[in-house]
Amino acid sequence: MKIPGLVGGTGWVSTAEYYRLINEKSNQRLGDLRFAKLLLYSLNYGDIETLNRTGNREGVYRLVEEAALKLEKGGADGIVLCANTLHQFSDRLESIVTVPIIHIADAVGRVMKESGIKKCGLLGTKQTMEMDFYIKRLKQKGIEVIVPAEKDRNEIQRIISGELLKNEFKKESRVFLEEVMGKLVSRGARGIVLGCTEIPLLIKKWKPEIPLFNTLEIHAQAVVDFALEEYTPLKK
């Protein structure tokens, strides 16, 4: 069994869900009292938020790099960034660490391709929705991605940083996100990617005919498959 190293704390709420899911899914495969072997480096999200306020992406990268290198030094066989947004640094990290990074968008893209989805809506942080690091990985799978309007993107960011990262889940925020998803469907989306690992904790289900892609659960499954040597991260 391989030992994944989790870069967590971004935020702690979804990291706790990663830990639970990885252990549950491992036990489903291994049985008895056998669970996952894991290393976890939990960042203080307050440090990231301080850097984000001044647009210091380099400072955020340095925190993530330090965490990844410490996990590798501690014996991790692969690195897991427990947030969609952190994957903006995945290409750069791949040139620093010697172990693979289990990329969340690659795992999501594989599942979507198997589902036959060719056009999807994407919800996430402003960075995930507005930068190309995530969208381009899905496009490589032949999946067209559409994002909400700017006003809606701003409100989604407020909900994530002002509520979800604090373990606050409000009905009015869920209703708002469902309205945004409805707009994306009206623009042709045939599936919705919940591209922030806190969002699936707020939205459990929606319209039966529109599949929701829970990136946290999909990523956790990829981590288990990697640990049990049934998943091979993509190589460039």
**99 Cβ contact list (under 8 Å, min separation 6):** 5, 72, 76, 77, 78, 79
Tell me what pLDDT residue 236 has.
44
- Quick: pLDDT tens for 28-70: 999 999 999 999 999 999 999 999 999 999 999 999 999 999 9
Within a domain: 188: yes
Does the pLDDT of residue 234 top 60, yes or no? no
Tell me what pLDDT residue 233 has.
58
Whether residues 44 and 87 share a domain: the answer is: yes
Range of the domain at 38: 4-104+217-227
Q: The pTM is what?
A: 0.93
Within a domain: 236: no
Within a domain: 235: no
Whether residues 94 and 119 share a domain: the answer is: no
Residue type, 109: G
- Quick: pLDDT tens for 20-30: 999 999 999 99
Question: Burial letters for 199-216: b for 16+ Cβ neighbours within 10 Å, e otherwise?
Answer: bbbbbeebeeebbbbbbb
